């Protein structure tokens, strides 16, 4: 039986009730918000997933999603759209949504999508723990000791012998593979690097790594960069291909 808490964000009470009842029936905990303001207030409490309508009375769902991601919150989000519009779907996915459902929808399908997104999320977190455990066993490259550097206030700066990186003048707290990944992207600014290329360049050919390893580390890097500059998003996703660095 599920125990995850789902936040349903929609200003139509009838739709909220249908989703609420179905999720409760499936064993989920459910919270509801009828506006963007209520939704942004609700994220202060523990949640596992958000079902987000795009048409809200104060801010649209795109703006809510944008603010969630800018604040570094990586909660899974399923967007609801009343229009079967490819543009809405593409924009939502590019802003960081995990899936979408078009109104009118079958509640059983919505629950199936919720379970699928939560399952993928659990797999990513488990992989992140496994990767972190494996990396902890790897010997780190020795860091040389340098005097304080005159670090630029904008952009990325690398001290490769010491394996340290700064973003907007602030030192990043990076794990070894996070440093390697960011450095690899920075060597090819504006160029899309496939996941396979990044795996080969950063991790080599170890059998226990796969495409999701790259996604997990990119997620970590984005979070650390956003902590310094929440308005910037320098690591861009080319869906189905890989990532590029835009500064």
Task: List, for residues 192-206, the tens digit of each pLDDT value.
Answer: 999 889 888 887 755
* Average pLDDT for the chain: 83
59/18 same-domain check? yes
Q: What is the pLDDT of residue 130?
A: 73
35/125 same-domain check? yes
245 DSSP β-pair partners: 235
Domains held by the chain: number? 2
Predicted TM-score (pTM) of this structure: 0.58
Can you tell me which residue has the tokens 């939704």?
Answer: 39
**Pairing state of beta strands 5-9 and 170-171?**
unpaired
Of the CA atoms within 13 Å of residue 209, those in its CB half-sphere come to 23
Distance CA 246, CA 239 (A): 16
Last residue within a domain, chosen from 133, 167, 192 = 133
Q: Which are the contacts of 90, defined by CB distance < 8 A and separation ≥ 6? A: none
- State both tokens at 31: 């919270």
Confidence of residue 33 (pLDDT cuts 50, 70, 90): very high
Cα 69 from chain centroid (whole Å): 7
CATH number, position 192: 1.10.10.10
Full residue range of the structural domain in which residue 156 is found: 140-245
104-121: b (≥16 Cβ within 10 Å) or e: eeeeeebbebbeebbeeb
Q: Are 226 and 70 in contact (CB under 8 A)?
A: yes
Q: Which range, 41-55, 71-85, 148-162, 195-209, has the best average confidence (pLDDT)?
A: 41-55
Confidence of residue 145 (pLDDT cuts 50, 70, 90): very low
Q: What is the pLDDT of residue 14?
A: 94
69/36 same-domain check? yes
128/12 same-domain check? yes
Distance CA 23, CA 108 (A): 9
Q: How far is CA 140 from CA 13, 42, 143, 163, 204, in A?
A: 55, 41, 8, 10, 15
């Amino acid at each position: 039986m599920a125990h995850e808490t789902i936040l349903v964000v929609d200003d139509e009470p009838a739709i909220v009730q249908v989703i609420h009842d179905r999720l409760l029936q499936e064993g989920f905990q459910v919270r509801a918000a009828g506006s963007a303001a209520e939704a942004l207030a609700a994220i202060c409490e523990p949640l596992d997933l958000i079902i987000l309508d795009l048409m809200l009375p104060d801010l649209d769902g795109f703006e809510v999603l944008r603010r969630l991601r800018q604040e570094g919150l990586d909660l899974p989000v399923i967007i609801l759209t009343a229009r079967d519009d490819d543009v809405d779907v593409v924009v939502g996915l590019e802003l960081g949504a995990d899936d979408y459902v078009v109104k009118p929808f079958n509640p059983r399908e919505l629950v199936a999508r919720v379970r699928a997104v939560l399952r993928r999320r659990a797999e990513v977190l488990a992989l992140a723990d496994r990767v972190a455990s494996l990396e902890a066993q790897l010997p780190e490259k020795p860091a040389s000791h340098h005097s304080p550097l005159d670090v630029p206030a904008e952009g990325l700066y690398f001290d490769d012998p010491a394996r340290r990186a700064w973003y907007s003048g602030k030192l990043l707290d990076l794990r070894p593979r996070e440093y390697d990944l960011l450095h690899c992207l920075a060597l090819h600014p504006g160029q899309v690097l496939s996941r396979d290329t990044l795996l080969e360049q950063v991790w080599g050919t170890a059998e226990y790594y796969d495409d999701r390893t790259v996604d997990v580390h990119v997620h970590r890097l984005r979070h650390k960069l956003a902590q310094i500059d929440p308005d910037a998003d320098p690591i861009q996703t080319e869906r189905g291909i890989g990532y590029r660095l835009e500064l």
